[in-house]
Amino acid sequence: MSATTMTYAQASALALTEAMEQNPAVVALGEDLGRGGSFGQYRDSMGTPLVKRFGPERIIDTPISENTIVGAAVGMALVGCKPVVEMRVVDFALCAVDEVVNQAAKNRFMFGGQGRVPVVLRMPIGIWSAAAAQHSQSLEAWFAHMPGLTVVTPSTPADNYGLLRAALATSDPVVYMEHKELWGMQGEVASGQAVALGKARIARSGADLTLVSWSRQFHLCLEAAAQLESQGVHAEVIDLRTIWPWDKATVLQSARKTSHLLVVHEAVQVAGFGAEIAATVAEQTDARVARLGAPRTPVGYAQVLEDEARVKVPQIVAAANGLLARARTRAT
């Protein structure tokens, strides 16, 4: 299986293209799709908008009405289509939360499995430089809280390809959360490579500390692990990939091995998904746990304010060292 270097955006476009070629029921709808998407995620490797290949009946430009877009997609899914919904950013998806939470997520349960809603809802998350408070939120914990939804957070081009393929193969609604600042990231992608939903990846092995993260923050954890190694601390780094279901087995096994776990996310720390991971590890292992997330404040437009809302590598290193230091103090 040969691999090709491509961007995070191109990887998702390839996955969608292959799915549309294989299954005529797959359609995409949302704003700006006709011009290739706001981030080029609906353009092929040559930069041509996918509408040129599949036509406006399958790559559908919609009015600026998120509630209408998702509502239409739910209806399409119930009659046999497999819609891919583009929300542009998760912040805009808040206008369609009723359709996501009360219609897509609950339909199969409320009607005894008579209807299925195989819709993929693309909701890019994370801080978007100089985009301010209404375009820079990480809301994965909101959707993980809702029964009936699968929540996916790819961190690399390979995963954006493989996980989108997996999302398109499911028969239930998937909230698919790409990161707003990863679209241009390059990496090797092997066409046909499958990535299972709910399976984490151990990106770096270590025996002293477990770092768990996802999406863009995973890359900062890798940087932090390299700095920690220079200090004599060997950190294991886990990319969760899927927020729900999350790979408890891999995380728990690592926590039992290292006896220390720090979960790091870009989302606000208060009630973030890191709390779920930390609580589960504390309940089921003897590991010392801690979490690190953003302060509970809107993301500012000014650079100095935006920086205050970002979780940066030095903070991760400091939190990891603090966790280990507290554990040593308690041991003595």
What confidence score (pLDDT) does residue 330 get?
73
Backbone angles phi, psi at 270, to 5 degrees: -60, 120
Query: What is the distance between the alpha carbons of residues 182 and 165, in angstroms, rounded to a whole number?
Result: 18
Other C-beta atoms lying within 10 Å of the C-beta of residue 21: 11
Residue 97: pLDDT band by 50, 70, 90 thresholds?
very high
Q: 135, 179, 260, 265: which one is catalytic?
A: 135
Put the strands of the sheet holding 174-176 in their side by side order. Answer: 59-61, 26-30, 82-86, 120-122, 174-176, 150-152, 242-244
- The mean pLDDT of 138-148, rounded to a whole number, is 97
264: β partners: 292
Give the pLDDT of residue 152: 98
For the chain, the average pLDDT equals 96
What is the tens place of the pLDDT at every residue in 286-318?
Answer: 999 999 999 999 999 999 999 999 999 999 999
Instruction: Look at residue 328 in the predicted model and tell me its pLDDT.
Output: 75
Domain 3-190 has CATH 3.40.50.970: yes
pLDDT band at 227 (very low <50, low <70, confident <90, very high): very high
Task: Say if residues 234 and 207 touch (Cβ distance below 8 Å).
Answer: yes
Residues of the chain with CATH 3.40.50.970: 3-190
Whether the pLDDT of residue 269 is over 80: the answer is: yes
Across residues 224-242, what is the average pLDDT?
98
Residues 6+ apart with CB under 8 A from 88: 30, 31, 32, 38, 124
What is the C-alpha to C-alpha distance for residues 190 and 217, in angstroms, rounded to an integer?
Answer: 24
Task: Give the model's pLDDT for residue 159.
Answer: 98
Percent above pLDDT 70 for the chain:
99
Q: Whole-angstrom Cα distance, residue 245 to residue 149?
A: 9
Render pLDDT for 56-89 as a digit per residue (tens, 0 to 9): 999 999 999 999 999 999 999 999 999 999 999 9
pLDDT for 45 equals 86
Residue 144 has pLDDT above 80, yes or no: yes
CATH 3.40.50.920 domain extents, the chain: 201-331
CB 238 within 8 A of CB 251: yes
Q: Tell whether the model's pLDDT for residue 2 goes beyond 80.
A: no
pLDDT band (50, 70, 90) for residue 1: low
Task: Give the span between the Cα atoms of 245 and 267, in whole angstroms.
Answer: 18
pLDDT at 148: 97
Give me the CATH code for the 201-331 domain, please: 3.40.50.920
Of 290, 281, 271, 217, which is closest to residue 247 (Cα–Cα)?
281
Q: What does 167-225 look like in DSSP terms, one character per residue?
A: HHT-SS-EEE--BTT-TT-EEEEETT----TT--EEEE--SSEEEEE-HHHHHHHHHHH
Per-residue model confidence as pLDDT tens digits over 15-65: 999 999 999 999 999 999 999 999 999 999 889 999 999 999 999 999 999
Active site residue 135: yes
% residues pLDDT > 90 (the chain): 93
Confidence class for position 332, pLDDT limits 50, 70, 90: low
Classify 22 as helix, strand or coil: helix
Which pLDDT score, from 0 to 100, does residue 329 have? 77
The SS3 assignment for 49 reads: strand
- pLDDT (0 to 100) of residue 331: 66
Q: What is the DSSP string of 50-111?
A: THHHH-TTTEEE--S-HHHHHHHHHHHHHTT-EEEEE-SSHHHHGGGHHIIIIIITTHHHHT
Query: Tens digits of per-residue pLDDT, 168-214?
Result: 999 999 999 999 999 999 999 998 988 999 999 999 999 999 999 99
* Residue 192 phi, psi (nearest 5): 90, -5
According to the model, what pLDDT value does residue 257 have? 98
Q: Nearest Cα to 213, choosing from 257, 189, 246?
A: 246
